[in-house]
Amino acid sequence: MKHCLAIHGGRPVRERYLPYGKQSIDEKDIQAVINVLKSDFITTGPIISQFEEQVAAYVGTKYAVAFSSGTAALHGACFAAEISDGDEVITTPMTFVASANSVLYQGGLPVFADIKSDTYNIDPRSVRDKITSKTKAIIPVHFTGQPVELDEIVKIAQEFNLIIIEDAAHALGAMYKNEKIGSISDMTMFSFHPVKHITTGEGGIITTNDEEYYQKLLQFRTHGITRDPNKLVENQGPWYYEMQFLGFNYRMTDIQAALGLSQLKKLDSFISKRKQYASIYQEELKGLPEIILPKQLNDVDSSWHLYIIRLNLMLLKADRKEIFQALQKENIGVNVHYIPVHTQPFYKQLGYKSGICPESERLYEEIITLPLFSGMTEEDALDVIQAVKKVIKFYSVIK
């Protein structure tokens, strides 16, 4: 505690708090929403279809289906993949809980494969080790925006006849071997939460080239209801609709879609800004032996949702919590992504135990997320660097 008091005896690096992530909304975004509020449709209307078509065109797929959240979209994908009781789905614990929860919603069992020590993405070798006769699908997560090794994942999926649902909540605009994420696997989910690359407030989408999945997703988000005359068991008249299975009310609104359409026009510029600030971090922090910077593979192009540093605790006279708190006192809004899912109390109640994914658990103890969003300025990034250097120097064992 003496260290903590000493380092903050003077003024913090910044006067104003800098969050780790934040939406970037301008007057065009606001006007797009106002236009919908003045129109005939504010919930399920024509703007949703326009948004879906433009997202599909951006990533290079035939279809896109918008949902009320990224979690709802993942749930829809698991439904479309017919995940059910007894089915196992392999995913990573280094993710938000929704990646695994969506499997549980369908009665399936999440199976956690460990991560690679360099990229922090799911390790294809661990995926292969976890496959059993009950394995139905793989949900790889493009952690921080850097694509996983999809060639290896696809190879495994083809060998064992598995479905791939990419959790690309972090990876809108990312590339894998010159292909846009969202165009490669059976289904891909993107999130539009405010800290993501573009926002619809809350919202998510599934992209796919498979018409059967597309039709299931459309119906699933609307209570399992259809009005399509070609699908009806009977047709009692022009008012008639049928609920053919138990779906959910997971629809996006036209208000959200209008914001998404406006934001989508700026997506590439948003990503360019994130890359600019990540590059500044990489350059200015590379000389600190007390921290490990994110490794980027040569054949991928990250969209940089998060910038994560890993502490070399052997060279620091403090743990991650103390470093974290010191950075916050410098008005730098650091965060931690993520607490491994299998260590959450609910998952422990289901029988998952600590120790099953040692690399993920070790990483969790050592990582801190630095601010990274398109609305930052270069001065903000330099403030972050100054604060990191100040705190690391104070706690370093290196003289």
Which alpha helices (H) appear in 81-210, and where do they start and end? 98-105, 124-130, 150-160
Tokens (6 digits) for 314 = 């052997």
CATH code assigned at 176: 3.40.640.10
When pLDDT is averaged across residues 108-123 and rounded to a whole number, the result is 98
Quick one: 212 and 333 in the same domain? Answer: no
The confidence score (pLDDT) of residue 9 equals 60
Instruction: Determine the structural domain holding residue 348 and report its residue range.
Output: 2-20+267-395
- Judged by phi (left if over 0) then psi (alpha if -120 to 50, else beta), residue 60 lies in left
Quick one: 120 and 177 in the same domain? Answer: yes
Quick one: 259 and 315 in the same domain? Answer: no
Quick one: 32 and 137 in the same domain? Answer: yes
Q: What is the pTM of this model?
A: 0.96
Quick one: 222 and 107 in the same domain? Answer: yes
Judging by DSSP bridges, how do beta strands 88-91 and 109-112 pair with one another? parallel
Quick one: 191 and 118 in the same domain? Answer: yes
Quick one: 44 and 127 in the same domain? Answer: yes
Quick one: 210 and 277 in the same domain? Answer: no
Question: Average pLDDT, whole number, for the chain?
Answer: 96
Quick one: 207 and 106 in the same domain? Answer: yes
The confidence score (pLDDT) of residue 243 equals 98
Quick one: 146 and 16 in the same domain? Answer: no
How many domains does the chain fold into?
2
- State pLDDT tens for residues 351-392: 999 999 999 999 999 999 999 999 999 999 999 999 999 999
Q: Last residue of a domain, which of 213, 232, 264?
A: 264
Closest residue by Cα to residue 376 from 195, 201, 221 = 195
- State pLDDT tens for residues 269-306: 999 999 999 999 999 999 999 999 999 999 999 999 99
The confidence score (pLDDT) of residue 11 equals 86
Long-range contacts of 151-157, Cβ-Cβ distance < 8 Å, separation of 24 or more: 151/177, 152/124, 153/122, 153/124, 153/127, 154/184, 154/185, 156/124, 156/127, 156/128, 156/131
Q: Last residue of a domain, which of 264, 295, 316?
A: 264
> For every residue of 145-168, which 3-state class applies, written as one string?
HCCCCHHHHHHHHHHHCCEEEEEC
Quick one: 339 and 206 in the same domain? Answer: no
When pLDDT is averaged across residues 224-252 and rounded to a whole number, the result is 96
Quick one: 33 and 16 in the same domain? Answer: no
Q: Last residue of a domain, which of 264, 290, 308?
A: 264
The confidence score (pLDDT) of residue 399 equals 79
